[in-house]
Structure 1
Amino acid sequence: QVFQTLQNAIYEFMNNRVWTNHVYAMEERIECNMMFNITEQLSADDFKGTLTIQVSRPVFSTNYNTTTLNFVDNDIRFKYVEFSPLEFNLNSHISNLTSILAFYSYFVLGIDYDTFSLMGGSQYFNNAEQVVLNAQNAAESGWKPMDNTSHKNRYWLIKDMIDIDYEGVRVFNYNYHRLGLDVMDEQVVEGRAAITNSLELLQQVYRKKPDPYMYLLRLVFDAKVDEIVNVYTESYPEERNRAYDILTEVDKPNANKYKAILESSQ
């Protein structure tokens, strides 16, 4: 019973709250799936688990949706009393559950706006950062730099996203989507060339190595690896080789998948 009530409360919190002043047309709307997996109920109102977030946005002039975020937060813990209202204030940490929901709402909006206009998501990333700052004294983990030694939590997620050393990732998001995917329906060669050029931005970030964990690059490739391979199925040999060289340098865990780029024919 409590889980159904919680599900309904989260749905209403996410969908009834105004997160942005922008009015989305139906064809612009973000598709966002958030799935909590409760692994432990520590007490009647204390829950522990994971949160999987999958986000996509439409590609211009097509029926295709491109994944912009495919992410799992393994550090979820919150208290929830059945039928209690979910309250949130951008200036204070009221509850861990609503802070988590708000953080990812702003983070998702930031990524989405970045794909439509250059650095367009800054306002929403700043809001996500504010949620993190408010939670620095929270008892639950996931908000502070030392909560995760491999820099994989909400603190590092937003810190890296607004770090000047990672700016290339945000510019990539714009160039790849707006100058690449969004024009490929009518200008496939030009769009694919823009995507190839955008990969060089990730290469530049990778070579700078702002930190040893490269969290944001993993975020990109967890969402994009299969799509990127598909982009080059009808590419030219020179372009395929260039993309392959960059991708196998910056995304070694998926190197085997990128072999399909070289095997594709013009």
Structure 2
Amino acid sequence: MKQFFILAAFNLLYFTSTSQELNCQVSIIASNKVEVSTVEQEVLNQLEEVIRQFMNDTKWTKDNFKLEERINCQIQFQLENIPQPGVYEGMIQVQSSRPVFNSTYNTLLLNFSDQNVSFAFSRNAMLNYAPNQYRDNLTSMLAFYAYYIIGMDYDSFGLKDGGQYLQEAQNIVMNAQSSGAPGWSPDQTGNKNNRYWIIDNALHQLFEPLRECVYEYHRLGLDKLYENKEQGRIAIYESLNKLAKVVATRPNSFNITSFIQAKRNELKQIYTDAAVPDKGKLVALLKRLDPVNSEKYDEILK
């Protein structure tokens, strides 16, 4: 009997001290031009809860996470059209962040706006992800972002440690291409901001400096600011400078510009008390990396 209670106590401790990988907040909003009936709103409320459970309760990796180690992320659906009951069109905003060592600050890792989204959902439907299998568009999209979020997070803590999860995201893209749903294939109009391109770029050899940057910016830069602010800033600049190699061959790449823009306000705070020449050096680099948004980086000089 004593052994039984010891085993029960151990199991209770284990399950209360470990959890799944994601702490995902989910919201669904309808644009003003969409009329949502009472019945449809009930379905959307259920959809919101189903997505939340799917993202947070699915075991995406073989690693054990403590409750406080979960990856904080957000998914917001903005509905632009309901062409028929149970069919939804619009956009998804996906964000994820990770904590900075020796601080209460969380840094933005991913901020992606998926503009071309269409999926079906019916009342009481369940979402079940099966590796190497396409079941429906919504499940595949959510699984794609789960693995992309996890891959980015792992890359920020260990050099290219997120590779297997980014590869899983790419596998989802490949399996979903036969569905004909938007976002899974190269856009014929030349738009490279969809799921196909974001993961294709992430794993392409030309973009290896970006993955190196993600690691060095966070582990050698942000995480070291508390110990030595000057050395942390140097590491951050050097990590960003690696991206010049990518920009030289792939200018205006979405992967590069979205990363830099996600860090713009953060860099302004980090360089608040930096020497004027150091601020100018950083701003000059950011303008070379993201010339389309050059004026936005002048705020760092103020």
**TM-score (normalised: structure 2):** 0.83
Q: CA deviation at 1:158?
A: 0.5
Q: CA deviation at 1:27?
A: 4.2
Query: CA offsets per residue over residues 173-200 of structure 1, 9 Å max, x none?
Result: 0000000000101111111110011111
Say whether residues 1:257 and 2:302 are aligned partners. no
Query: CA offsets per residue over residues 221-252 of structure 1, 9 Å max, x none?
Result: 23111111222111223322221211111112
The amino acid that maps onto 1:24 is F
Equivalent pairs: percent with the same residue?
36
Provide the rounded CA distance (Å) in 2 between the counterparts of 1:16 and 1:29: 12
- RMSD (Å), alpha carbons: 1.4
Partner of 1:104: 145
Q: Secondary structure at the match of 1:170?
A: helix
Q: 1:166 aligns with which of 207, 219, 237?
A: 207
Unpaired runs of at least 5, structure 1: none
Query: CA offsets per residue over residues 52-73 of structure 1, 9 Å max, x none?
Result: 1121110011000000011110
Partner of 2:82: 41
Partner of 2:265: 226
The correspondence of residues 1-266 of structure 1 with structure 2, limited to 5 A, is 1-146=42-187, 148-209=189-250, 212-263=251-302
Q: Moved runs in structure 1, 4+ residues, more than 4 A?
A: none
Structure ID, larger Rg: 2
Unpaired runs of at least 5, structure 2: 1-41
What is the count of residue pairs matched by the alignment?
Answer: 261
**TM-score (normalised: structure 1):** 0.94
Provide the rounded CA distance (Å) in 2 between the counterparts of 1:168 and 1:157: 15
Q: Secondary structure at the match of 2:62?
A: coil
Query: CA offsets per residue over residues 148-175 of structure 1, 9 Å max, x none?
Result: 5221110001000000001111110000
Provide the rounded CA distance (Å) in 2 between the counterparts of 1:150 and 1:29: 33
Q: Secondary structure at the match of 2:60?
A: coil
Q: Secondary structure at the match of 1:78?
A: strand
User: Contact (CA 8 Å) 2:87, 2:121: kept in 1 or not?
Assistant: yes
Decide which moves more: 29-38 or 92-101: 29-38
Q: Secondary structure at the match of 2:98?
A: strand
Q: Secondary structure at the match of 1:135?
A: helix
